[in-house]
Amino acid sequence: MMHQRQALAWLKWREQQTPPGGVLADDMGLGKTLTMISLVLSDVQRRKDRSDTQSPQWLNKCELLYSTYRLPV
């Protein structure tokens, strides 16, 4: 929906500001959860697109940390 697209655009903009972040609040049932999931997925996609410039050592360390400190489900 349009208000969710606007919220996602605002959240992406806020992540680029100093200090980053913000509070997403509205009436109940307008899609805050989906908007936050969209923000996370857009950040994952951005990092994936940028992964060509990252060093493989850094990626290996992240994978090691993730596999070592993964929370039980």
Q: What's the pTM value of the predicted model, to 2 decimals?
A: 0.57
The percent of residues in the chain predicted with pLDDT above 70, rounded, is 68
- The CA-atom distances, in angstroms, between 28 and each of 18, 23, 50 are 29, 15, 35
Q: How far apart are CA 61 and CA 18, in angstroms?
A: 28
Q: How far apart are the C-alpha atoms of 38 and 40, rounded to whole Å?
A: 5
Residues 16-46: tens digit of each pLDDT: 888 888 887 878 887 888 888 888 888 888 7
Q: How confident is the model at residue 64 (pLDDT cuts 50, 70, 90)?
A: low
Kindly state the DSSP code that residue 18 receives in the 8-state scheme.
S
